[in-house]
Structure 1
Amino acid sequence: MARYHIETYGCTSNRGESREIEKRLRDAGHHKVDGPKAADVSILNTCTVVEKTERNMLRRAEELSEETADLFVTGCMALAQGEQFQEADVDAQVLHWDEVPEAVTNGECPTTTPDAEPILDGVIGILPIARGCMSNCSYCITKQATGRVDSPPVEENVEKARALVHAGAKEIRITGQDTGVYGWDNGERKLPELLDRICTEIEGDFRVRVGMANPGGVHGIREELAGVFAEHDEIYNFLHAPVQSGSDDVLEDMRRQHRVEQYLDIVETFDDYLGEWTLSTDFIVGFPTEEPADHEMSMALLRETRPEKINVTRFSKRPGTDAADMKGLGGQVKKDRSSEMTDAKMEVVGEAYESMVGTERDVLVTEHGTGDSVKCYDGAYRQIIVQNASEHDLEPGDFATVEVTGHSTVYAFADPV
């Protein structure tokens, strides 16, 4: 769990994005602190109205980079003129705002409170299906807070999902520290059964998104899980399986419960079962034992499997973890490796969204965006923005068919058909 400091400059839209960042960070168990010196990470949400503002943003970024271990820069200037931070030699990761929460996690599992209950946020229903995990990663402090997985019965989670749908949820987000090990504490692997029962026993028009599932848990159920995805249109064809490294040696030092071959098995299985799907994964760059050759293996794995959503995180020590006692790599090494992987990520993701242009997609509108726009997701959980939504009478909760007209690397633009 990280301690974070966030600063927001500019318009109401920026403030709204910062509120969303904070909400997701809190949901993941992170804690806000007063000032960057007390923080593990700082977040700077920037504005770029005039040249003076830009100079102020660069100066503040330089100050924050010296006062905190990791700095994430987002907002208008970051997206429009992100190269200026690099040219000014600011030690920061420049990200779109909705990439910030997952980057902050440092590869750790999300953390829910002991009494986590379903939450309805607009038309999005958040369903924590279990607490804890079966892993013991050397870099992760979350396990100290959550312990081993504790899985409520399938029937209980189905009823919670039904209540969310009856309350107005159009998208159910299945969450947990590691959804793939749901049921393991009772000697059974229950995620496929839970998904199947939600889709067959609950009446209504809704979609289901499966949250983070570590490859070690998914590997043993990959055929059954991919089969459930293929059988039910309600389930987004989307899998978040964080590989963290392309090197088996580094994975062993991280104490991850999978190896690269198992991750590739999962990708191959989902390729076999699903015509179109989105692979989401995470990489930690600059782990203390990561040699140049290990980093190259991670780069090769990224290019081989071409995930359409990739979270790149520079390793940061968490107090009380075994990895905190390891001799770390230099900040410049981590920065360089992160930059190289982020460049490759943007290339891969951009190609994926470019390939969508000109196609028609059935989407669910999930929330309002900036100005008169709405955010939608297609069957593979790719984000699509429809502008001038009021002209098309589109509101969160609506289903629509759209034609993709363009993209902005990490999301697409479309018009209703």
Structure 2
Amino acid sequence: MRYYVESYGCTMNRGEGRELAEDLASLGFEEASSVDDADMVVLNTCTVVETTEKHMLSRIADLRSKGKEIVVTGCMAKAQPNRIEIRLPDAPIIPPEDYGTFKERMQGRYGIQGCATSVDFGSEAILPIAQGCLGNCSYCITKVARGDLRSYSPDRLLHRYDSFLEHGTREILVTAQDTAAYGQDIGTTLPELLRSMLSREGDYRLRIGMADPQSVFRVQEDLCELMDDERIYRFLHIPVQSGSDDILRRMRRKYTVEKFFELVDYLRAAVPDISIATDLICGFPGESDEDHAKSVDLVKTLRGDTVNITRFSSRPGTDAAKMEQIHGRISAERSAELTMVKNSTELDVNNALVDRTFRALATEKGKEGTILRTNSYRPVVVRDDIPLGTFMDVTVTEARPTYLLGTIKNTRN
């Protein structure tokens, strides 16, 4: 039987999708090159916003019409199983908390298909290190799907990490719902895990995944110290979500705007070339014009390398869904203004990098060439066809709001 794993949403979900593929390969299933060539599709769902949920339901209908055997995993399998069951009454629905039983359930339903095979994921690997988080944000359906923090054991993670390096992986994305919270439930920390990883020799890159500012506060000194090792990208994704303390309280975020900027100032002082990414939700219930203006000011003051703007999406089962909602037209207008300001700011930040040369790693293919990542995880697009996993010296020639353009100076294997 040929299978295809189709993952949506965050890096964590993509990483878990790869692990599910490995389980199927170990049972002798053959990986298909596309959905059309597959007999069975593992639909690894996301439901973080309403538009994504609707796309998942549409995708279920599409796959069913094509006669595919469907297995549903991911956040929707936990948060909204009834919406799946009514459309696929006989399909396996396996939420993230039950991934430990995935292989057994697949074997029980479909049997062993043949000799075990391996899955080649190329030069990039994703390492999920925990389920759930320590927070309780009023808007987050992911909390419903993933629950409280459950960190995986260091031994399990290091075994998988070592296997990545043995297979020539050059970039490993360390990820979780709140990566910096790792270990708080089992008596360890993210920096301790990263130190163990960096004890392994090799020329590779580690990227620390999204982390709540509140969790970063606890480990900020150790994280900055680790970034002295060039094998860790000097990059952190720390979502602030709003520039208004009133809205942060309604969101149940456990910090103030002032504390967020104290963290940013500390990180930039300790690691001067660090790249800061953040997220903002606009149109959150109760957001006033003044609250929105504070978010605009935050973007201008932060001068972040990447700012992701999302319009609030009411999700079932969350407290924010019960609050008085902002009109969609107002949210759209605020989103447009924030996007305009952030694009202008990011272009200005990127222009400061023109004519500089960086050592960078080829990580993915783009529409017009290859995308490489600098040590600060800045994307540089070159028009050359570069083998993924190759280190290059790249000179930045032009800037765009969300990426850089460059030319190759030489090759470093």
Q: Same fold (TM over 0.5)?
A: yes
Give 1:158 shift: 2.2
TM-score by length of 2: 0.72
Q: Which residue of 2 aligns with 1:328?
A: 325
Helix, strand or coil at the partner of 2:300: helix
- In 1, the alpha carbon distance for the partners of 2:391 and 2:224 equals 24
SS of corresponding position for 2:336 = helix
| Contact 1:219/1:265, CA 8 A, preserved across alignment | no
The answer for the alignment partner of 2:253 in structure 1 is 256
Equivalent position to 1:380, from 359, 376, 381: 376
- Residue of structure 1 equivalent to 2:221: 223
Question: 2:363 is aligned with what amino acid?
Answer: T
Distance 1:313-1:120 versus aligned 2 partners, 3 A rule: farther
Which residue of structure 1 lines up, in the alignment, with residue 304 of structure 2?
Answer: 307
The Cα of 1:156 is off from its aligned counterpart by: 2.6
Structure 1 vs Structure 2: percent identity of aligned residues? 35
Residue of structure 1 aligned with 2:54, choices 39, 62, 66: 39
Equivalent residues of 1:120, 1:164 under 8 A apart: no
Q: Given that residues 209 and 236 in structure 2 are in contact (C-alpha distance below 8 angstroms), is that contact kept between their aligned partners in structure 1? A: yes
Q: What one-letter code is carried by the residue in structure 1 that aligns with 2:54?
A: A
TM-score (norm 1): 0.71
- Specify the alignment match of 1:284 in structure 2: 281
User: 1:27 aligned to 4, 11, 14, which one?
Assistant: 14
Cα RMSD, aligned residues only: 2.7
Distance 2:46 2:56 in 1: 11
Counterparts of 1:37 and 1:143, CA distance in 2: 16
Cα offset for 1:113?
Answer: 2.9
Query: Aligned residue for 1:113?
Result: 96
Correspondences of 1:134-283 after superposition (within 5 Å)? 134-188=134-188, 190-199=189-198, 201-229=199-227, 231-283=228-280
Q: Is the 8 A contact 2:7 2:45 kept in 1?
A: no
Superposed CA deviations along residues 235-279 of structure 1, whole A, max 9, x for unmatched, are 001100000011111111101122212211210111111121110
Output the CA distance in 2 between the equivalents of 1:268 and 1:333: 32
**2:285, 2:306 → 1: CA distance?**
25
1:178-214 CA distance string (max 9 Å, x none): 00110111244x1111112211x21211000000000
Specify which of 339, 342, 345 is matched with residue 342 of structure 1: 339
Q: Return the letter of the residue paired with 1:365.
A: A
CA distance in 2, matches of 1:339, 1:140: 23
Q: What CA distance in whole angstroms lies between the structure 2 residues aligned with 1:294 and 1:272?
A: 29
CA 1:38 to 1:177, structure 2 compared with 1: closer, same or farther past 3 Å? closer
TM-aligned CA deviation for residue 24 of structure 1: 6.1
2: CA distance between counterparts of 1:170 and 1:409? 27
Structure 1 residue runs of 5 or longer lacking an equivalent are 1-18, 44-111
SS in 1 for 2:194: helix
CA contact (8 A) 1:179 1:212 kept: yes
Aligned CA distance change for structure 1 residues 147 and 175 (closer, same or farther; 3 Å)? same
Residue 396 of structure 1, aligned match among 388, 396, 409: 388
Question: Using a 3 Å threshold, how does the CA distance of structure 1 residues 343 and 399 change in structure 2: closer, same or farther?
Answer: same
Deviation at 1:370, TM superposition (A): 2.0
Report the AA paired with residue 216 of structure 1: Q
Q: Tell me what 2:79 maps to.
A: none
What residue number does 2:65 align with? none
* Aligned CA distance change for structure 1 residues 41 and 268 (closer, same or farther; 3 Å): farther
- Structure 1 residue 414 and structure 2 residue 410: aligned? no
CA contact (8 A) 1:177 1:212 kept: yes
Instruction: Give, in whole Å, the separation in 2 of the partners of 1:37 and 1:367.
Output: 24
Q: Deviations over 1:105-148 (max 9, x none)?
A: xxxxxxx933389x963211100011110011100111111111
State the distance in 2 between where 1:238 and 1:37 align: 27
> Structure 1's 38 and 285: CA in aligned 2 closer, same or farther, altered over 3 A?
closer
CA drift of 1:388 comes to 2.7
State the one-letter code of the partner of 2:405: F
What is the one-letter code of the residue matched to 2:216?
A: V
Compute the displacement of 1:153 (Å).
2.5
Following TM superposition, where does structure 1 have runs of at least 4 consecutive aligned residues deviating by more than 4 angstroms? 19-26, 40-43
Structure 1 residues 42 and 370 mapped into 2: Cα distance closer, same or farther (>3 Å)?
farther
Q: Are the equivalent residues in 2 in contact too, given 1:192–1:228 (CA < 8 A)?
A: yes
**Gap change, CA 1:251 and 1:23, over 3 Å in 2:** closer
Aligned pairs (5 A) from 1:66-105: none
Displacement of 1:408: 2.8
Deviation per residue, 1:298-351 (Å, 9 max, x gap):
111111111111110010100111100111011111011111100011011111
Secondary structure of the equivalent of 2:321?
helix
Contact 2:8–2:14 at 8 Å: present in 1 too? no
Secondary structure in 2 matching 1:185? coil
Alignment partners' CA distance in 2, 1:243 and 1:41: 28
Report the 3-state secondary structure (helix = DSSP H, G, I; strand = E; otherwise coil) of the residue aligned with 1:121: coil
When the two structures are aligned, how many residues end up with a matched partner? 320
Q: Which amino acid aligns with 2:391?
A: F
Q: Deviations 1:215-252 (Å, cap 9, x if unpaired)?
A: 111112212211212x2110001100000011111111
User: Mean Cα displacement is larger for which, 122-131 or 292-301?
Assistant: 292-301
How far does the alpha carbon of each residue in 1:20-53 deviate from its partner, in whole angstroms, 9 at most, with x for none?
9779696396449xxx89727999xxxxxxxxxx
In 1, Cα distance between equivalents of 2:351 and 2:12: 30
Inter-partner Cα distance in structure 1 for 2:55 and 2:312: 12
1:387/1:163 CA distance change after superposition, 3 Å: same
The question of 1:127 aligning with 2:121 is answered no
